[in-house]
Chain A
Amino acid sequence: MSFLLSCPLCGPRDVYEFRFGGEAQARPTPGADQRSWGEYLYMRTNVSGVERAWWFHRAGCRRWFQAERDTRTNTVIRTGWAPLGGNLPSGNSSGSDG
């Protein structure tokens, strides 16, 4: 894994400057049932395709942002501040908006 990721603040940087923060997903509302919390805490879509995920620019501006990336090719489609609006390209699904 050695692709470049474009931090919305700092621009394109080596992916090793970042920490991967997992799939973007919605936190259950307070009082949600245990199954919802279980899904949120422990289950991941692990999509083979375009995924929307959190990234943290650890060795840079220390800001969290979101990126859409094709997990098969590591092609980064876009990055931006959370929450990224719009829908993911069709043909696959990842977690819902965070």
Chain B
Amino acid sequence: MAERLGGGGRAINFSWNGRRHEGRDGDTVASALLADGVEVLSRSFKYHRPRAILCDAGRCPNCMVNVDGIPNVRSCVTPLREGMDVRPQNAWPSIGFDVMSLTDRFNRFLPVGFYYKTFIRPRALWPLYETVLRRAAGIGRIDEHGHPELHPRKRHMFADVAVIGGGPAGCLAALEAAAAGAQVVLIDDQPELGGHLRVRTSEVAGDQRLEGLSGREAAARLRELVAAEPRIEHLADATAAGLYEGNLIGVTQGATFVRLRAPQIVLATGQAERPMLFRDNDRPGIMLASAVLRLVWLQRVRPAPEAVVLTDDDHGWRQATELIAAGVGVTALVDTRPDAAAAGRSVPAERAALRAAGVEILAGARPERALGGRHVTGLRIHTPAGERDLRTGLVALAGRPEPVLSLLAQEGVRARWDDQLGEFVPGDPPAGITVAGHMRGAGEDPLVLAGGALAGRAAGIAARGLAADGTADRIRDHERRVAETVAGRTPPAPLPRPGGGKQFVCFCEDVTAKELKQGIEEGFDTLETLKRYSTVMMGPCQGKMCHGLSARVHAGLADSSPAVTGLTTARPPFQPISIAALAGPHLSRIRRTAMHERHDALGAKWIDMGDWKRPLHYGDVAAEVRAVHEAVGLIDVSTLGALDVSGADAGEFLDWIHPNRFSDLRVGRVRYRAMLDDAGIVIDDGAVARLAAERFFVSTTTGNLDGVDQWLRWWLAGSQRRVAVTDVTGHYAAVNLAGPRAREVMAKVTDLDVSRAAMPYLAAVEGLVAGVPAVILRIGFVGELGFEIHVPADYGAHLWDTLVQAGRPLGLAPFGVEAQRVLRLEKQHAIVGQDTDALSTPLEAGMGWVVKAEKPDFIGRDSSAAVAGRGPRQVLTGFEIVEGGVPAEGAAIVRHGTAIGRVTSSKWSPTLNRAIGLAWLTSDEAVEGRSLTIRLGVGREGQTSSAVVRTRPFYDPDGERLRS
């Protein structure tokens, strides 16, 4: 029975499956449940067997639960918080009695490859199979209606040296790299540094900073040293989930995803105990020895007063000694090595201590099966003297720890099988990455500590570009000692041939040794195909628990060596990452114009356009439209892109980049611009004003500025043209003052002559407006007399205020994007990107006049000529609704059930008192007065509107008002 030890913090309330429970500060969710009498945390994937804490380190699937609506939370590494709502998953009707656990009894119906074999025919039934299987198979369920409190963030970090792993080797590496002057980021997946030392009491040897300290004291000392080093940034509770080319490390830290790049990386990810294989090895109460130590030392919960320790290596002898020091009595130590004399040879001190403590040593024995059902009650072992049942409520598995090699493997570094050691060891890492500590397979303190320190020092020196100082010689010396030590080791006990019953290799997917055997017999005899067929290593833990074990079982069954059969490919992420953390928000900018607060004060409803916030309207679109037509309106157009294109060849360059001509544009005049790509497609439009002989002011559409800037720069790259392109968008604030009384307003705010004669349509003038320097362009896209006024951005609010004040007595009203769209549509002005797409040529979009085919060359010339040769296939044209609703953008236009076009814009025009729009039609249909049927589509299925084609602007078709 688990019991809480002293030293815990204050009480914390939470609920499990709807019932109230109490834990302590310092608990994980799993340890709190265990201490409060809840052992079974989940039901296994296939057989729905009860599962409980196995690793207590977030490596296995056993403890996955739903916390506050978020599924698949690893409760053994999730700190307990007040009010948590914790629920089991993959269990029905309850975690205590699960109907699907019947599959455990009848598993001859669920052989390996069951899904592949059973659900393939009849094919027509697949949708049904799929639904049933989904229900039966899924781990965790997403609450489709809930909104879990996720606040994903992205962080970009740079360091001279990144150290992955906060154990003794990693900490010393970070300290030495920092001592060499390097900026260091130390990534560790635990809440505090120290690694395995945090759960170890035996004395540490081999580094003078830690000499004579117990493991736990040494961990505390390392924490002090790291905290006192300003060059080290420690990322706690952070998992290096991926190692990518160019030394990029993807780190998950809570809901934050960190991209860390460092020219030097020290990998010190340590080692992890391998589970052991015997029948019913998944019973609750069977856990890794390190899990017992973590529960006792880190969470202050003792899972049971006594344990049986099972091992295949001298590691188990050390762990047995540690368990006793942690207050867990060891009744027996079972060492499976056949050579009983070898058992404990390398650990004479522990051997003596265990003898003295009265621990029964059972060397040369092997486990037959676990006893008990919902909880382990004992272990049946086979000894040379016969079978024996050891009664115990806790079996501590202390299999030989194996190096954690996943990150290195992600870099493409294949692990190498060391026959002498009986383990996979890291292959040679690429330049810029060093492997240190327990990962090297030599676990003796002096080698681990010196290895970490030397790796850190070398990385610091390399990253700082310092001169060699003898570290390289010391590393060579160290490498020799590591090699010698490894050569002197003996392999762990070989695995027995899988016998009867369920011996779980993979806890995620419930794959047993027998199923692997069956898979191999069916011909899936390489590890990669066996993996895919049996799904071993394919569960949530992605092989963290079972990779080494699977490789060994496979090699054994195939009568081969892991040296030949190898490991499978490791891919990121090392730990599961929520999609939200990966997807969620990139750093993106929000641009607000200089008049933003004025719009806000007027109650603007906002719309996002590219990075920009623009007022959609100020409450009454129809009134805004009316003001523009009848008096005067004011719109903020600061968001239009503005490029200054200057230089001796600027005119000629603009001629080449556009289908029409600008070199002949007079200073003080504006001309419409449409821009094509070489396929002859319209990609942007706007205006070009010539402010001086060699200086052009080019405006772009709001969303296209970046693209146009890149486009111009690309055609200038490597060219001899003397042209400079400067983005001046942010430099200017701009408004368009439009309406029949616009001139009266202008006259009140400037001394310039704004008469029709002095400032006609398409004039470009520089002068003072509202007392500040301005560029005035006599253009507008809303069909009325218009002045586009650009002033330095700092004066934007001042300009706005001055115009509003001067215009108010004349009926001035601010208008937003929505009114502008209505006004544009009344004039049938197409919006590039709204009414045009990647197939729209100017000829077909009704702007064929911009193409000056007589020019010798320009971007899009040959393609435009080809289109002119074949004639238009589709035409952008206006329509008005005669009867029926306003169609949505994209609505289909049909004749006799066949699509003949589609709507690109459509609005209610308060001016015309009817709905109007623009649409693409096949060219034979785009005839004035032709009647059309428009399907209203989504949400209005079956409904249609009647419309007629209108090829000329609805409002002021001859543009008299615009030119007035």
Contacts and interface: CB of A to CB of B under 8 A. Distances in A.
A95 interface: no
Given A30-B856, A56-B714, A4 B679 contact: no
Q: Classify the interface of chain A: helix, strand, loop or mixed.
A: loop
A45 to B, nearest CB: 18
Nearest to A34: B866
A36 to B, nearest CB: 9
Interface in B802-837: none
Contact of A30 (B706, B713, B857, B866): B857
Interface in A56-95: 56, 58, 62-65, 74, 81-83
Contacts, number: 57
B244 A2 contact: yes
B678 A19 contact: no
A29 to B, nearest CB: 9
Contact of B862 (A1, A30, A65): A30
Contacts of A41: 678-679
B945 interface: no
Contacts of B714: 21, 54, 56, 64
A74 B96 CA distance: 53
Contacts of B245: 1-3, 74
Q: Which range holds the interface residue count of chain A?
A: 20 to 34
A56 to B, nearest CB: 6
A2 B248 contact: yes
A30 B717 contact: no
A4 B710 contact: no
B246 to A, nearest CB: 4
Nearest to B719: A82
B718 interface: yes
Contact of B717 (A4, A31, A63, A74): A63
Contact of B709 (A1, A27, A31, A62): A62
A20 B246 CA distance: 18
Interface string B703-723: 000100110011001100000
A63 to B, nearest CB: 7
B261 interface: yes
Given A31-B862, A32-B862, A74-B245, A64 B713 contact: yes
Contacts of A54: 714, 717
B862 A63 contact: no
Contacts of A56: 710, 713-714
Given A3-B245, A4-B246, A14-B261, A37 B863 contact: yes
B866 A40 contact: no
Nearest to B248: A2
A90 B709 CA distance: 35
Contact of A37 (B244, B857, B862): B862
A40 B862 contact: no
B861 interface: yes
Contacts of B857: 30
B709 A65 contact: no
A27 B862 contact: no
Interface in A16-52: 19, 21, 27-28, 30-32, 34, 37, 40-41
A50 B270 CA distance: 38
A58 B710 CA distance: 8
B246 A3 contact: yes
Contacts of B866: 34
Contacts of B861: 30
Of the listed residues A56, A65, A81, the one surrounded by the most CB atoms of chain B closer than 10 A to its CB is A56
Given A2-B248, A37-B678, A19 B710 contact: yes
Interface string B689-706: 000000000000000001
A4 B714 CA distance: 22
Of the listed residues B246, B706, B714, the one surrounded by the most CB atoms of chain A closer than 10 A to its CB is B246
Nearest to B855: A30
Contact of A65 (B261, B710, B717, B863): B717
Contact of B713 (A4, A31, A63): A63
A28 B761 CA distance: 39
A32 B866 CA distance: 11
Contacts of A40: 678
B718 A83 contact: yes
B718 A98 contact: yes
Interface in B845-874: 856-857, 861-863, 866
Contacts of A82: 717-718
Contacts of A65: 717
A14 B856 CA distance: 41
Contacts of B679: 37, 41
Nearest to A97: B718
Of the listed residues A15, A64, A98, the one surrounded by the most CB atoms of chain B closer than 10 A to its CB is A64
Contacts of B718: 64, 81-83, 98
B80 to A, nearest CB: 36
Of the listed residues A2, A27, A30, the one surrounded by the most CB atoms of chain B closer than 10 A to its CB is A2
Nearest to B706: A58
B155 to A, nearest CB: 14
Contacts of A2: 244-246, 248
A73 B491 CA distance: 37
A41 to B, nearest CB: 5
Contacts of B862: 28, 30-32, 34, 37
Nearest to B863: A37
A22 to B, nearest CB: 10
A31 B706 CA distance: 30
Nearest to A75: B245
A37 B714 CA distance: 19
A21 to B, nearest CB: 7
Contacts of A74: 245-246
Interface in B221-261: 244-246, 248, 261
Interface of A: 1-4, 14-15, 19, 21, 27-28, 30-32, 34, 37, 40-41, 54, 56, 58, 62-65, 74, 81-83, 98
Given A15-B246, A30-B857, 20 more contacts: A2-B248, A3-B245, A3-B246, A14-B248, A19-B710, A21-B714, A30-B861, A30-B862, A34-B866, A37-B678, A37-B679, A37-B862, A37-B863, A54-B717, A56-B710, A56-B713, A62-B709, A64-B717, A81-B717, A82-B718
Closest 7 A-B residue pairs measured CB to CB? A82-B718, A64-B717, A2-B248, A30-B857, A2-B244, A3-B246, A82-B717
6 contacts: A14-B248, A30-B856, A40-B678, A62-B709, A64-B717, A98-B718
